[in-house]
Amino acid sequence: MVTGRPVLEGIKTLLWIFFIAALVIGLGRFFFGLGAATNMTDQLPWGFWKVFNMVAGAALATSGFVVAAIIYIFQMEKYKSVARFSILVGFLGYGSSLVALLFDIGLPHRGWHPFFMWNPHSFLFEVFWCVSIYWFVTAFELLPLITERFPFPKFTHFIHEVMLPAVILGITLSTMHHSSLGSLFMVSPTRLHPLWYSLWIPPEFFISAMGAGLSVIVLLQIIMSWLYKQEINMKVLTGLVKGSAGFLLLYLVIKVADFTVNDKWNFVFGPDITWETYLFWVESLLQVIIPLAIFLYPKTRNSIEGLIFGTTSAFIGIVMHRLNTGIVGYFRSAESVYVPNFSELLLGLGLICGAGLVFLFLLERFYIFKEPVSHGDHHDSSDIELWSSAEAQTVFLGSRAKKVGIIAVIVIPITWFFFRDQATGPFQPIVQPVEASIIGVDPLREVLRIDGNLANEFVDFPHKKHQEAFIKEYGMIAEETCVECHHLNLPNDNASNCRLCHSDMQLKTAIFDPDAHIQHFRADPEFDIEAFMKTDLSDRRKGFEACFDCHEENMKGLAAYAVKGFDQEAPGFKDVMHGSCQTCHRQREEDRAKADDNSNCLFCHKINP
Amino acid sequence: MSSVQNPELSNSKGMLTDVTKCIGCERCVEACVRQNKLPREFPAKFKSDDGLSGNRFTSIVKTDAAKADLVRMVRRHCLHCIDPACLAACLVGAFKKTPDGAVEYDADMCIGCRYCMLACPFSIPRYEYNEPLPYIRKCKMNDECRAKGGKPACVSACPTGATIYGRRKDLLEVARERIKSNPDLYIDHIYGEKEFGGTSVMYLSDTPLNETLKMPTKTEFDRLRVSSLAQKSIPSMVEPWVWVTPVQFVAVSSGLGVIWLYRRKKLLANQNNQDSNPGNENKGGDHGNR
């Protein structure tokens, strides 16, 4: 068919690398969720995949229906040479967008729901129906491209016969969904910045999409013609950019009228100048003003350099406009910023690369640059080289398959490694441990940072404040305050032996007098002092029980837990901690004079930013 | 579409939160967590500044003490609009407004497009971003308790009576009464009476709510140059455009057909002319382009 320049092989390798990486990310999204794969938040729920791939992607792929209208409806035979090219761009552009959406929506296995569950009030419903049907219509329009190389001329002929209604349906659906893609953002008058919000969005989106679509087709035509050493038909391309300029001019007029009628010039020229204003200026310059300047002036319009420059500018401009409307315009009201992360970019762009691969594949094997002699009565089949089995073999076997295999083997682990690294990132707690221990202590020992269940979630406990409160309110001495809470197990232990802490049982301290202890036992006739003295205190449970029988009162927080099988196993650190805190604070709450609202869980268990 | 005059909703229930009475104890949050058996809070990435997340349907927002003289706490949760934007936005119709006044979400229909999140003027619906197959999560005004004829758990839990539950009509009267009896304290405005076509959850405040609750108010609309929309619900605002589409379908397709016929006729006429004068150069040029 057509032969490409040597650089084409390198380009294809790049496309394969990005495409395979995108598939890996796509797989990862279903393992780790959208939160791991993207940077979307609750305030900015529409990210790169929706706004770039779908909203901007649809605008870039407008060429399909505009050129179809030029050729089939307005019957301008001159443009027939770009017909298949532009319809194919439309088909593949929409195809890659729809695939991206499958990764973006939360429950892609329910993608068929809108066909059966209707809500005609929704703009998205409209977009869904129009886009999905339109995609099949473009596929139908492209069928002759494939079938003409196979020996069933009757079928090909039949498709040509019913082409007109299909084209009309396709164009109608396009006009509907391009405006509806704009209306999608009309539901947020308070959230979208007024530079992009307007009740006039639908026509603005529709017209700017047509302008950009024609520019994109010219740019692609130039690039592909160069890559495949095809002759560039300047007459056709200048005709197309003239059309593009017409739409852009119309867009400019509508936009100016919109800003005047809705009184929004203050956001453009002041006094309400913010960073959005500058962004808007760059966008308008690229999207409308530069392309218009080039396309309206015959000298630049007729030169390849001028065309490349102008169409590239229009291409970047329309992407900027869509991203600004769908994402950036929401930053101010959301009070946060969304920047797509690497996996989002990779998947979004990688799917377009995949579409590019299909594009090149079809370009090389089917009649796309040149439609073989026009269909109809004088169909000359000798013009067309039929598909051979030798050609089929080159598709799936040979050096290409080997190359793709090698790329996959290299790219898959690398992508997975980086994605895995990123995916596990956000799940780490925001409060970092002070030390790798259960209780972190701040340098002043005023606040304890407790992680009872070792789950890396910390509760800040104002230790010093509690000490002071006991001293002040209950008239305790400093050492005494400890006992109010600290008759506990050791952290993360189930039945700590009392002796572990009370190793100084023979010494008299502020809170413990061993002599008084023994005398107290002797005074009680029912107490079996001999058995007590023989208790093996090194046995954890027996040691604990020996003390607890009498000292229940000292262990305020533990009382409640004595009921639930306390003889079996002492409560863990978490239970004791909760018991201690809640017992005291709930008691205080009943005493209205001292009431505070510290007794509920959430008082402590907030994840501190 | 439903509106304030919808007879079905005339007896709908609602909530009234008196911002001046809230002490920020978060008992309502605790009750909500218990009632809905919500799991642990997400890691901080999935939690927004206002405290709502896929696992928290209500939260307490506090004014920044550094910025405002008056520290106020406000409950933030779904306002259960009378004409909800999420309901109109959802492409499968997973949301419905019950006669009770609540806006309920049917997880079995949802496809996860998150358009409701974009459409909600209060930015309430939350998403389970950490799930491979996520759903939308939001306050459902405690459907279990309402089914038994009771109050939502968060209302029962409120120790100060800052949030009360009842018929929306009655609540409006209560609110007016309070403003009347204490005009020095309250701002003479019931937030939710008319905002976005009215909401079932209303607020009474002594401080502007756009500062505390980050709620869009009329000043916001004025600033954004869309003040004409301030009292309208979002669905009623965009409704005309929805009905443009079917008209567009008929108009565009028939228009295209007419153009095709016209062009065809003209081309045929040209061709006949050319056939009568063989050797016309136009035809040759046409072929050259290919």
A477-506 residue pLDDT tens: 665 666 566 555 554 444 555 655 555 555
Q: Angle at the Cα of A528 (from A527 to A534), degrees rounded to 5?
A: 135
Give the least confident one: A432-436, A584-588, B38-42, B126-130: A432-436
Continuous segment of H or E residues that includes residue B204: strand B201-204
The Cα of A510 is separated from the nearest Cα of chain B by a number of Å equal to 39
Q: What pLDDT shows up at residue A591?
A: 64
Average pLDDT score over residue span B34-57: 70
Q: What is the pLDDT of residues A169-215, one digit of tens each?
A: 999 999 888 988 999 998 888 888 888 988 889 999 999 999 999 99
pLDDT score, position A453? 53
CA dihedral for A361, A365, A369, A373, sign (positive or negative) = negative
Per CB-CB distance under 8 Å, the chain A contacts of B288 are none
- Burial of residue A232 (CB within 10 Å: 0-12, 13-18, 19+) is middle
Radius of gyration (Cα) for chain A, nearest Å?
Answer: 37
Q: Residue with structure tokens 């002796």?
A: A499
Specify whether B207 is located in the same domain as B244: no
Instruction: Tell me which of A246-250, A268-272, B39-43, B283-287 is least confident.
Output: B283-287
Per-residue model confidence (pLDDT) at position A563? 40
Residue A597 sits at the chain B interface (C-beta within 8 Å): yes
Instruction: Enumerate residues 6+ apart whose C-beta is below 8 A from B17.
Output: B74, B75, B162, B163, B201, B202, B203, B204
Same-domain status, B137 and B204: yes
What distance in Å separates the CA atoms of residue A101 and residue A29, rounded to the nearest whole number? 12
**Do B166 and B245 have their domain in common?**
no
| B214 lies in the same domain as B276 | no
Is there a domain that residue B191 lies in? yes
Omega of the bond prior to A202 within 30 degrees of 0, cis? no
Tell me: pLDDT of A284 over 90.
yes
Q: Is A474 exposed, middle or buried (0-12, 13-18, 19+ CB in 10 A)?
A: exposed
B163 and B35 in a common domain? yes
Domain regions of chain A by residue span:
7-366+411-427, 439-604
**Residue range(s) defining the domain that contains residue B33:** 7-232
B146 and B243, same domain (yes or no): no
Residue with more model confidence, B6 or A452: B6
Nearest residue to A545 (alpha-carbon basis) of A526, A514, A531: A531
Q: Does residue B260 sit in the same domain as residue B140?
A: no
User: SS3 helix, strand, coil % of chain A, rounded to 5?
Assistant: 70, 0, 30
Let me know if residue B259 belongs to a domain.
yes
Does residue B2 lie within any of the structural domains?
no
Both B191 and B271 in one domain: the answer is no
The residue-averaged pLDDT of A542-552 equals 67
Phi-psi region of A48 (alpha: psi -120 to 50; beta: other; left: phi over 0): alpha
CATH code of domain A7-366+411-427: 1.20.1630.10
Same structural domain, B22 and B155: yes
Residues B132 and B248 in one domain: no
Of B214, B232, B250, the residue at which a domain comes to its end is B232
Query: What is the mean pLDDT of the segment spanning B55-71?
Result: 73
Position A375: which residue type? Answer: H
Which site among A602, A603, A607, A608 would you substitute to test the B interface, given the most B Cβ atoms closer than 10 Å to its Cβ? A602
| CATH code where residue B194 lies | 3.30.70.20
CA dist B242 and B246 (Å) reads 8
Confidence of residue A252 (pLDDT cuts 50, 70, 90): very high
Task: Say if residue B275's pLDDT is above 60.
Answer: yes
pLDDT tens, position by position, B22-40: 877 677 887 888 788 877 5
pLDDT level of residue A377 (50, 70, 90 thresholds): very low
The answer to the question of residue B1 being in a domain is no
Residue A509 has pLDDT above 80, yes or no: no
Task: Residue B114: list chain A partners with CB under 8 A.
Answer: 40, 45-46, 105-106
In this prediction the ipTM stands at 0.86
With an 8 Å Cβ cutoff, are B229 and A69 in contact? no
Report, as an integer, the average pLDDT of B136-158: 87
The beta strand positions in A344-476, using DSSP E, are 439-441, 447-450, 459-462
Smallest Cβ–Cβ distance between B129 and the set A34, A80, A236 belongs to A34
The shortest CB-CB distance from B89 to any of A110, A122, A428 is to: A122
- Which of A164, A190, A272, A430 to mutate: most B Cβ within 10 Å? A190
A-interface mutation test, from B60, B115, B210, B258, most A Cβ less than 10 A away: B115
Lowest mean pLDDT of A145-149, A386-390, A558-562, B165-169, name the range: A558-562
Asked if B138 and B244 sit in the same domain, the reply is no
Quick one: how far is CA B117 from the chain centroid?
Answer: 8
The residue among B191, B216, B232 that closes a domain is B232
Two tokens at A332? 């101010």
Same domain membership, residue B283 and residue B144: no
What's the pLDDT at A470?
A: 78
Test B123 with A429 for CB contact under 8 angstroms.
no
The total number of structural domains in chain B stands at 2
**How far, in Å, CA of B54 to CA of A409, rounded?**
38
Task: Measure B286 CA to nearest chain A CA, in Å.
Answer: 6
Which strand ranges, in their side-by-side order, compose the sheet holding A439-441? A439-441, A447-450, A459-462
Q: Which residues of A touch B90 (CB under 8 A)?
A: 119, 122, 124
Query: Among residues B232, B247, B264, which one ends one of the domains?
Result: B232
